[in-house]
Amino acid sequence: MKGKAKHVVGGGGEESMKYSNNNGGVAWSRGPLLGKGGFGSVYLASLKNPKSRNGYYPPVMAVKSAEVSASCSLQKEKEVFNCLNGCPFIIKCFGEETTRDGGGEMFYNVLLEYASGGTLAGLIKKSDGVGLPELDVKRYTRSILEGIHYIHSHGYVHCDLKPDNILLVSSSTKAGEFVAKIGDFGLAKKSEKRNKKRKFDPYLRGTTLYMAPETVANHVQEPPCDIWALGCVVLEMLTGKQAWDVKPDVTIEELMRKIGDGYELPKMPSEVSKDAKDFLKRCFVANPMFRFTAEMLLDEPFVSGVNLDGGEFVETSDAESVEWTDTLCGTDDEFSGSSFYEEWSFTSDEGSCFSPWSDDEEGITSNVDAMTHASRVEENAVQYLPTCTIPAGA
């Protein structure tokens, strides 16, 4: 039966949302603070009774919390997690619960899979600007790409892919290894279907260094934007450095102009394999019409031979699905096929902006017109590097 969802505690039965003290929930205790983000704080949590027969929760979790009065974004993120449940390359969500502190303040909590390996950003930082071994980069890239493909095939765009939002979860099959999983869907949005006039989005979602040219120039944030961001992440893994070499005196406006113009693309690293270079070329195409989709990239030699042990996609049965899945998660097959060129039309009226990487390792060539300068973001409208939702032209 379709209808508005009832709040649930964890993954249990349909019941009114319960309240417990701020030290934890009904079945879990709150631990130390792991980090803070734009939409809440993340804490370590453990089960109050690890030997309980309630096997739905793992012994250790990460709990993302926000005051109920300021939890709209976190509740929306929970809805996205429900729509994407079942992919082994996306952080698992175990449910939601509301707690109350000693002063009566109520907190909304989302219970998530704990990533004991930290973030991909932390791992890259440990390389001291050298980068990760290419074999590891291939494995992590394949995992991230599988997650992106799942997200896009379910009608969503992540909008903030970056190393800080890629979490490393202990492998269930190989001791000492980690699986890269996509997390933080606070800025995710629904894709817009083909043949529908694109609505103007007054906000740019994400982090500037990972934004695609069409995002900066034309406010477009659709599946190809995640592919561009993936290229930035892969390049960062390979080199230990961010895709754009930003000098201390460069302003955010200058960086956005550089990205949005489309004349210049991130530089090709000379020390990586041909397969890695080819993969990056498919991601860093200024015109999103010619940028590879996640499905296409899965066939690239750089990742096609990677064996991901333990990765099984879990289909949620009808009995386990929540009532509002039909209304929130309905998608068409158009998002999962390779008929991409017919579905998306982001080309500017002023011409094409197709600018693939050249084979010259010293730089980039741009062989057609660059992105239009239309709808340029005004000065002082954005933060510099952190995740943000920023006014475009405000």
Q: Is the pLDDT of residue 102 over 70?
A: yes
Q: What is the CA radius of gyration of the chain?
A: 21
CATH 3.30.200.20 domain span(s) along the chain: 19-113
What confidence score (pLDDT) does residue 129 get? 92
pLDDT for 131 equals 96
Per the annotation, binding residues are 64
Residue 60 sits at φ, ψ, to 5 deg, of: -130, 140
Task: Report how far residue 315's alpha carbon sits from residue 154's, in angstroms, rounded to the nearest whole number.
Answer: 13
- State the amino acid at position 222 in one-letter form: E
Both tokens of 93, joined, read 């969500």
pTM above 0.85? no
What is residue 49's predicted lDDT score, i.e. its pLDDT?
83
The residue type found at 375 is S
Whether 106 has a pLDDT exceeding 80, the answer reads yes
* Homologous superfamily assigned to 120-391: Transferase(Phosphotransferase) domain 1 (1.10.510.10)
How would residue 334 be classed by pLDDT, with cut points 50, 70 and 90? very low
State the pLDDT at residue 321: 35
Whether 325 shows a pLDDT value over 80: the answer reads no
pLDDT at 9 over 80: no
- Mean pLDDT computed over 110-128: 97
Write out the two tokens for 49. Answer: 């009774």
318 catalytic? Reply is: no
Q: How confident is the model at residue 26 (pLDDT cuts 50, 70, 90)?
A: confident
Burial class (CB in 10 A: 0-12, 13-18, 19+), 129: exposed
Which of 41, 319, 73 is CA-nearest to residue 205? Answer: 73
Q: Residue 305 has what pLDDT?
A: 86
Could you tell me where in the chain the CATH 1.10.510.10 domains are found? 120-391
Would you say residue 64 has pLDDT above 50?
A: yes
pLDDT attached to residue 196 = 59
Give the Cα separation of 85 and 322 in Å (integer): 11
> Tokens 């279907």 belong to which residue?
193
pLDDT band at 176 (very low <50, low <70, confident <90, very high): confident
Binding-site positions for ATP read 64
Q: Give the least confident one: 172-186, 303-317, 327-341.
A: 327-341
Give 55 or 83, the one with higher predicted confidence. 83
pLDDT at 333: 36
pLDDT at residue 273 above 60?
yes
Active site residue: 101, 160, 226, 245, which one?
Answer: 160
H-type alpha helices, 84-207 = 120-126, 134-153
Give the confidence band of 175 by pLDDT, cuts at 50, 70, 90: confident
pLDDT for 203 equals: 73
Q: Does the structure show a pLDDT above 70 at 3?
A: no
* CATH value of 19-113 in 3.20.20.70, 3.30.200.20, 3.40.50.970, 3.30.300.20: 3.30.200.20
Higher pLDDT among residues 30 and 201, named by residue: 30
Query: Rounded mean pLDDT of the chain?
Result: 77
- Pairwise CA distance, residues 10 & 153, whole Å: 26
Q: Residue 95 is encoded by which pair of tokens? A: 């449910």
Q: DSSP readout, 132-158?
A: --HHHHHHHHHHHHHHHHHHHHTTEE-
CA distance linking residue 25 with residue 48, whole number of Å:
9
φ and ψ at 193, to 5 degrees? -75, 155
Give residue 54's pLDDT: 60
CA-to-CA separations, 42 to 5, 15, 173, in angstroms, rounded: 25, 25, 27
